[in-house]
Every structure is written in C-alpha cells, then in structure tokens.
Amino acid sequence: MASERPLEELKTNEFLIGIAALMHVKNHSHVKVLAVSETDDSEPVALTPENVATRRYPLIRDAYFYVNKAPGRPLDPIVREFMRYCLSREGQETIVKAGYYYPLPRDYLLEQRGKLD
C-alpha cells in the first residue's frame, strides 16, 4: 500500500486488510497496525521505529544499491565515494532526516563498506 488511496479506503471498509510500511501509516490514525511474528510459536513484534531500526520486525523491506562494475575492473571512483558517503554516519543521518528510512545497523554498515575495497 504505497499510495494514499488504499489507506483512505480503510476508513470505509472494515473488512479491508493491507500491508504498508511504517512511513506510510504514521499519518493515518484510523489504521490499526498489528504486531506480527516470524513463526507460529514466536512472540509478535510491534511495528515501531525502534523495531524497524534494529531489524527485529519480521516484515522489513530492504532497499538496495546496484552498480555497474565490469568483472576484474575497479569500481568507478565517483561511484565508490558516493557509496562510502551512503554508508557513512553522515550519509545515514541524511537518510533519517529525509524521513523515509532508518539507519542501518553498525555491523551491517561495516560489512557493506568492506565490499567497497
């Protein structure tokens, strides 16, 4: 449910069920957000900013960067520096300020930075 229309339809159809990202539902007080569990016997996890940021929430979607790099050739220096910025503290702060994504966990950032070298 990436658009406003389905979220608005939840106001008039009590039987409607949808899946939406936290960034889309936060301005819709009529939407009831349910906790979900990864397995039948695990505890449900609420959709909260903290659970998304720590990646505890089971329905997290990842965003990916793909770069065009020829096998055996180095990554374009401009692309490498842009990726370093995205994976830096400053880059992660910029992402958070934009209001759409949460910062990546530190261990994941370090792993991804290592792939640039």
- pLDDT reported for residue 1: 45
Q: Considering the entire predicted model, what is its pTM?
A: 0.69
Number of CB atoms found within 10 A of residue 25's CB: 19
Domain ranges in the chain? 1-61, 62-117
CA distance 104 to 89: 10
Which residue intervals of 1-117 are DSSP H helices?
Answer: 4-9, 22-25, 49-53, 77-86, 89-98, 106-114
- pLDDT reported for residue 42: 96
Are the beta carbons of 9 and 17 closer than 8 angstroms? no
Are the beta carbons of 79 and 67 closer than 8 angstroms? yes
Instruction: Return per-residue pLDDT of the chain as tens, 117 residues.
Output: 456 777 888 888 888 888 777 777 777 788 888 899 999 999 999 988 889 888 899 998 888 889 888 999 999 999 999 999 999 999 999 988 987 788 888 998 999 999 887
